[in-house]
């Protein structure tokens, strides 16, 4: 049981954690820290949270469990302040899509005070954003990757894992750098590709959108995601994203070569191999 | 009312047309021509069609309306035979995703006999394939693009348009080449990108599939499409596809440059512009 849970950033993810924690009675008290007074006021009047504030220090005072749910680079920037403001012995986690930078930042802060940071990445989301889109069931059955290092307190890892499990998630641990390379490939690259697919149509002829069917809509759905969130993710995971982009370019070039060479048999074999790989995912 | 409707190719699209035509009583008699005896036998025993045959000439004898529903290049290859076998005055259409090559082929055949070909492209489909995946409601509310040229008999265009409307579709006309450029951008390029996204993950590390969430699955759903169908589409629409790929590459490079240059403001503005364009599609 958490005594005081402080959620910093009450958007889609922070709001969903607050709602799920309240619904499941995970914390005696839930406090929200945010910049937008409307979201905070809505959460307060819906009794999703007990206290709201725009002041980070005030919000974290006495918190034994803190969740950073702002965009990734913002969370990193807040971490030194969080380290000063949180209660002694508090456990801090986050929801960021990249883990290397914030984990390194926490490692640097660790000697200052007896707090523990464990990186978390819930693999759930939506192209929608903001508190208005948050839902108590957003994390139901989702995979959460926690990213401890060899310096992380095992008790803190246990508390964070139990927190997510109590919200209905499956938890799996990964090294922060391995995590960042993996999500660059299966999440950040597809997002960048979706943005580029939409932009390519504008570049060719915006009238072409008129014949867009379900295939285009599904493939580019994630290009309707929050621009601020994705700006910070792309920049935070720059190196791994570039590695994934290079692999993607090679794959595109090879497929284009097979199309151009009119080697129908080889092209079909390659497409069939990919189809079978993709089919295993569903 | 069609006297005898012959559907050549009884897969996802041909099967769905046959089922919808039967359900809506569009033709007195429905004949299916196919290669796979299982599909034909199933359609016959379900009374979706009245006659089945693997012989194109036999299937088309006496047909006043014929629908080619094989992969695009296959349909093109069959067209000369269809031209010989169909009844005098018959109207022929297809369901292919590229229209330039088959329309040119039909234009070349036109002087031989008094038949009319009108290209059709129903913008409906599925990553599933085969007669087993066909459904009477696949075309409900779908957009069908018909691609007459200045040489096409207006009465044939009217009959083909009314055929699709009777199946529940909206019909819109486009020049065949304009159609091919548009679908290269909003359909063929996203398919090629989806195949390349799956392959890029394999290239980087297949274990990364383990953290794939909804975003990856949606973005790559169309990479589970039928390999033969897509081999023929990619090759048939090669020139327009390469033009779309070049635009896509430019978009990817520009986004990568913004990520690398760490110009967060400009990157966010660009992502927001794209987000707004994408949002208009839903």
Three-state DSSP string of chain B: CEEEEEEECCCHHHHHHHHHHHHCCCEEEEEEECCCHHHHHHHHHCCCCCEEECCHHHHHCCCCEEEECCCHHHHHHHHHHHHHHCCCCCEEEECCCCCHHHHHHHHHHHHHCCCEEECEEECCCCCCCCHHHCCCCCCCCCEEEECCCCCCCHHHHHHHHHHHHHCCCEEEECCHHHHHHHHHHHHHHHHHHHHHHHHHHHHHCHHHHHHCCHHHHHHHHHHHCCHHHHHHHHHHCHHHHHHHHHHHHHHHHHHHHHHHCCCHHHHHHHHHHHHHHHHCCC
Interface check A108 vs B, CB under 8 A: no
Q: Hey, are the CB atoms on A195 and B255 less than 8 Å from each other?
A: yes
Q: What domains can you pick out in chain B, each with its CATH number?
A: 2-174 (3.40.50.720), 178-279 (1.10.3660.10)
Distance in Å, alpha carbon of A19 to nearest chain B alpha carbon: 22
The residues, ordered by sequence, that sit 6+ positions from A176 with a Cβ below 8 Å of its Cβ are: A99, A100, A103, A104, A119, A147, A149
How many percent of chain A have pLDDT more than 70?
100
Indicate the SS3 state at residue A102.
helix
pLDDT of A37 above 90: no
Cα-trace Rg, chain A: 21
pLDDT mean over A250-276: 94
Nearest CA in chain A to B172: A211
> What is the average pLDDT value for chain B, to the nearest integer?
94
pLDDT mean over B150-164: 97
Q: Hey, are the CB atoms on B271 and A213 less than 8 Å from each other?
A: no
Nearest CA in chain A to B247: A200
Q: Are the beta carbons of B31 and B4 closer than 8 angstroms?
A: yes
The residue with greater pLDDT, B1 or B133, is B133
Band (A1; pLDDT cuts 50, 70, 90): confident
Chosen for mutation from B204, B246, B280 (greatest number of chain A CBs closer than 10 Å) is B204
pTM: 0.89
pLDDT of A21 above 90: yes
Interface check B133 vs A, CB under 8 A: no
Band (A282; pLDDT cuts 50, 70, 90): low
Q: Which of B94-98, B242-246, B272-276, B277-281 has the lowest mean pLDDT?
A: B277-281
Joined together, the tokens standing for residue A81 give 């302040």
Interface check A263 vs B, CB under 8 A: no
Interface check B277 vs A, CB under 8 A: yes
Per-residue model confidence (pLDDT) at position B128: 84
pLDDT of A262 above 80: no
Interval A205-259: pLDDT, tens: 999 999 998 889 989 999 988 999 999 999 999 999 999 999 999 999 999 999 9
Q: Are the beta carbons of B18 and B32 closer than 8 angstroms?
A: yes
How many percent of chain A have pLDDT more than 90?
90
Q: Hey, are the CB atoms on B247 and A200 less than 8 Å from each other?
A: yes
Judge residue A37's burial from the number of C-beta atoms within 10 Å of its C-beta, 0-12 exposed, 13-18 middle, 19 or more buried: exposed
Distance in Å, alpha carbon of A115 to nearest chain B alpha carbon: 29
Q: Hey, are the CB atoms on A251 and B199 less than 8 Å from each other?
A: yes
pLDDT of B91 above 70: yes
pLDDT mean over A263-268: 92
Interval B193-215: pLDDT, tens: 999 999 999 999 999 999 998 88
Provide the ipTM: 0.89
Q: Are the beta carbons of A20 and A51 closer than 8 angstroms?
A: no
Q: Hey, are the CB atoms on A215 and B187 less than 8 Å from each other?
A: yes
Chosen for mutation from B275, B276, B280 (greatest number of chain A CBs closer than 10 Å) is B275
Interval B109-138: pLDDT, tens: 999 998 999 999 999 877 788 999 999 999
The residue with greater pLDDT, B39 or A245, is A245
Q: Are the beta carbons of B134 and B16 closer than 8 angstroms?
A: yes
CA distance linking residue A44 with residue A49, whole number of Å: 5
Interface check B1 vs A, CB under 8 A: no
Q: Hey, are the CB atoms on A190 and B245 less than 8 Å from each other?
A: no
Band (B39; pLDDT cuts 50, 70, 90): confident
Nearest CA in chain A to B253: A196
Interval A95-126: pLDDT, tens: 999 999 999 999 999 999 989 999 999 998 77
Q: Hey, are the CB atoms on B211 and A181 less than 8 Å from each other?
A: no
Interval B242-276: pLDDT, tens: 999 999 999 999 999 999 997 899 999 999 999 99
Distance in Å, alpha carbon of A46 to nearest chain B alpha carbon: 29
Task: Give chain A's end-to-end CA distance (angstroms, integer).
Answer: 36
Distance in Å, alpha carbon of A228 to nearest chain B alpha carbon: 6
Per-residue model confidence (pLDDT) at position B98: 96
Give the number of other CB atoms < 10 A from CB of residue A50.
16
Interface check A29 vs B, CB under 8 A: no
Band (A128; pLDDT cuts 50, 70, 90): confident
Residue ranges of E strands in A199-282: none
Per-residue model confidence (pLDDT) at position B282: 67
Task: Give chain B's end-to-end CA distance (angstroms, integer).
Answer: 36
CA distance linking residue A244 with residue A190, whole number of Å: 10
Neighboring chain A residues of B202 at a CB cutoff of 8 Å: 277
């Amino acid at each position: 049981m958490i005594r005081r849970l402080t959620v910093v950033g009450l958007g889609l993810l922070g709001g969903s954690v607050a709602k799920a924690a309240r619904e499941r009675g995970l914390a005696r008290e839930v406090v929200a820290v945010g910049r937008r007074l409307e979201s905070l006021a809505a959460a307060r009047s819906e009794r999703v949270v007990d206290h709201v504030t725009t002041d980070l220090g005030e919000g974290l005072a006495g918190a034994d469990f803190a969740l950073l749910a702002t965009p990734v680079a913002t969370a990193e920037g807040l971490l030194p302040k969080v380290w000063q403001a949180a209660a002694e012995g508090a456990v801090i986690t986050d929801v960021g899509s990249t883990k290397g930078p914030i984990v390194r930042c926490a490692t640097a802060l660790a000697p200052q005070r007896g707090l523990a940071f464990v990186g978390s990445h819930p693999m759930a989301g939506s192209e929608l954003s903001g508190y208005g889109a948050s839902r108590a069931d957003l994390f139901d059955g989702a995979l959460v990757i926690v990213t401890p290092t060899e310096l992380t307190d095992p008790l803190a890892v246990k508390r964070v894992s139990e927190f997510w499990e109590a919200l209905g998630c499956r938890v799996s641990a990964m090294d922060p750098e391995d995590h960042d390379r993996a999500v660059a490939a299966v999440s950040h690259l597809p997002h960048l590709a979706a943005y580029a697919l939409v932009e390519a149509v504008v570049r060719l002829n915006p009238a072409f959108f008129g014949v867009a069917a379900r295939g285009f809509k599904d493939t580019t759905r994630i290009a309707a995601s929050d621009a601020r969130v994705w700006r910070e993710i792309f920049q935070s995971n720059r190196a791994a994203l570039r590695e994934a982009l290079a692999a993607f370019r090679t794959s595109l070039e090879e497929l284009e070569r097979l199309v151009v060479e009119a080697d129908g048999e080889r092209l079909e074999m390659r497409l069939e191999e990919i189809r079978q790989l993709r089919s295993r995912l569903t």
